[in-house]
Amino acid sequence: MSESMDRFPAALPHGPVREIFPDVFFVTGGMEAEIGGLEWHFSRNMTVVREDGRLTLINSVRLSDAGLTELEGLGEVAGVVRIGSLHSRDDAFYLDRYGVPLWQMPGMTHPDGLATDRTLGEGGVMPLRDASVFEFRTTRIPEGILHLDREGGILVACDSLQNWLQPDEHFSEVSRERMEAMGFFTPANLGPVWMQAAEPGAEDFARLKALPFRHVLCGHGEPLLDTAREDYTATFQRLFGV
């Protein structure tokens, strides 16, 4: 079915699927949204984790037909994971195309009315054998971070942790100027809009920095590799004194 004729939001321009670590893939694509009565054009990321030939999609980003062919060449899509309340645009497309379960954080409802097939509770069943979930406990909206026990520890975040170093080709000029003024382009950052919507407390970040990790793959920005724990610990100290 062509993108223009189906009932889901069309695929937006995106880059290649990059293998950041063995069986851990990352793709950056565009996003268009109306927020606060303003039009925004920026980038977002999907992380794909392969286990036993099965693919788990985290922070879903719809790919073009060519991109889907590339994705399907990596393995069988087995599930969609939504860890951020503010990310949901392309979940329904993947659930419909592949008939797979939707994993969401406790208390999270989907704006498209999609039912939660699996709940990502701390200590509960996970979509991946080496994964656990960190749940924010102080926030006004549900948010989680997946922890993968590989490569010294990988965190897969949505909006809470960001690492936008500079605007890329998916930004409009107006969005670039607006987001630059709001402090989005800051290494090892906490998402400015998410901070306003979620109002997290210091205790969450005190718990988060205690996790063993070296790398962070965010819903926005570049992968932060090797020094992620040190870099984010400095951010938590600067913003929350923990």
Please determine, for residue 75, whether its predicted confidence score (pLDDT) is greater than 90: yes
Q: Which domain holds residue 22?
A: 18-240
Q: Which helix (H) or strand (E) holds 112?
A: none
Which residue from 197, 206, 158, 148 is spatially nearest to 24, judged by alpha carbons? 148
pLDDT in tens, 90-121: 999 999 999 999 999 999 999 999 999 999 98
Residue-level pLDDT at 35 = 76
Residue 217 lies in a domain: yes
Distance separating alpha carbons of residues 150 and 128, to the nearest angstrom: 12
CA atoms within 13 A on the CB side of 138: 12
Distance CA 117, CA 104 (A): 8
pLDDT at 33: 85
CATH number of the domain encompassing residue 202: 3.60.15.10
Residue 2 counted as domain residue: no
| Confidence check: pLDDT of 142 > 80 | yes
Would you say residue 236 lies in a domain? yes
- Is residue 197 in a domain? yes
Residue 27: is it exposed, middle or buried by C-beta count within 10 angstroms (0-12/13-18/19+)?
buried
Q: What are residue 95's phi and psi, to 5 degrees?
A: -65, -40
The amino acid occupying position 5 is M
**4 — pLDDT class (breaks 50, 70, 90):** very low
Handedness of CA 187, 188, 190, 191 (dihedral sign): positive
pLDDT exceeds 80 at position 1: no
Q: How many domains does one find in the chain?
A: 1
Query: Is 216 inside a domain boundary?
Result: yes
Is 68 contained in some domain?
yes
Q: At residue 217, what are phi and psi to the nearest 5 degrees? A: -110, 115
Interatomic CA distance for residues 86 and 104, integer angstroms:
12
Report if residue 30 sits inside a domain: yes
- How does residue 6 score in pLDDT terms, banded at 50, 70 and 90? confident
Q: What is the mean pLDDT of residues 71-79?
A: 98
Q: State the pTM of this model.
A: 0.95
Residue 65: pLDDT over 60: yes
Q: Are 174 and 182 in contact (CB under 8 A)?
A: no
The residue-averaged pLDDT of 173-188 equals 94
pLDDT band at 188 (very low <50, low <70, confident <90, very high): very high
Q: What angle do CA 222, 200, 156 make, to 5 degrees?
A: 30
Q: Rounded to an integer, what is the distance from CA 72 to the centroid of its chain? A: 20
Each residue of 37-48: pLDDT tens digit? 888 899 999 999
What is the rounded average pLDDT of the residues 143-169?
97
Query: Residue 7 domain-assigned?
Result: no
2 pLDDT above the threshold of 60: no
Question: pLDDT value at position 5?
Answer: 47
pLDDT in tens, 193-225: 999 999 999 999 999 999 999 999 999 999 999
For the chain, the average pLDDT equals 95
Q: Residue 85 in contact with residue 66, Cβ under 8 Å?
A: no
